[in-house]
A and B are shown apart, each in its own frame.
Chain A
């Protein structure tokens, strides 16, 4: 199961929101982080998040038995390792 962490700070609000809006994802809290889990690959559309460059590319704080297979101007894709 792909799973990744995002630090809960204002700049990451867009990423967290887009992740939470997708019913395939479970988003919960672990300390100051939000944890995003799903049964299949997690895809976050960058434009939907409204994130600018630097924030987008530093949004992922941790990967749990997962790997980033795409992280570009279009999307972030996290899959099971």
Chain B
């Protein structure tokens, strides 16, 4: 038998495999099931019936899971006898209420967006929602994505989106630059977009030489 020692491949740095579950509380499991299982037709894939045995006083609860594609799951907790806190007429959702004058942009800043492959699939989910108690509230198309939006029975905003073209490597690199600039600017005084864009330009200039080495197709000073 030959000496067949295979070189051990180093473990990749990035090993997580997506969303095991994103969990939220609900006070209306019936409507939640109607929305996700019956309207959107997301399969119910798991449930746990449990009580609160840890150090904190804790009602009996059901933890249930819907498949949202790619083996990722959206999960809910329903606590028996637990009542929502805060002003229920205030903006927000089952998890939290916000001040009455909270602007839309901020309310919308937290949401889940699920991906579909193409226009047909997007329209199919649009149809399912429009025929339900939770019709599509908005449809938006940019150059790069097209999305539909609604709120689930718990007030959680749900977006369903399709990409109009795949993300390019230039965008990954641009994103890294934005993040680096953002961290620099946000930890300083009076962060602003102006400061961020200025910082980003500095980083572009600083890193240009390295890009030239890594990717000779990106020629410097090639006048257009």
Contacts and interface: CB of A to CB of B under 8 A. Distances in A.
A and B touching (C-beta < 8 Å)?
yes
Contacts of B207: 31
B168 A30 contact: no
Interface residues of A, number: 33
Q: Which 7 A-B pairs give the minimum distances between C-beta atoms?
A: A62-B201, A32-B170, A31-B211, A62-B200, A64-B201, A11-B143, A63-B197
Interface of B: 142-144, 165, 168-171, 173-174, 177-178, 194, 197-198, 200-205, 207-208, 211-212, 215, 218-224
Interface of A: 3-5, 7-11, 16, 20, 26-34, 52-55, 60-68, 81
Nearest to B201: A62
A70 B212 CA distance: 33
Contact of A60 (B197, B218, B219): B197
Contact of B204 (A16, A31, A65): A31
Contacts of A53: 142
6 contacts: A9-B170, A28-B222, A28-B224, A32-B169, A61-B174, A63-B197
A4 B201 contact: yes
A13 to B, nearest CB: 10
A55 B170 contact: no
Contact of B218 (A9, A26, A32): A32
A67 B212 CA distance: 27
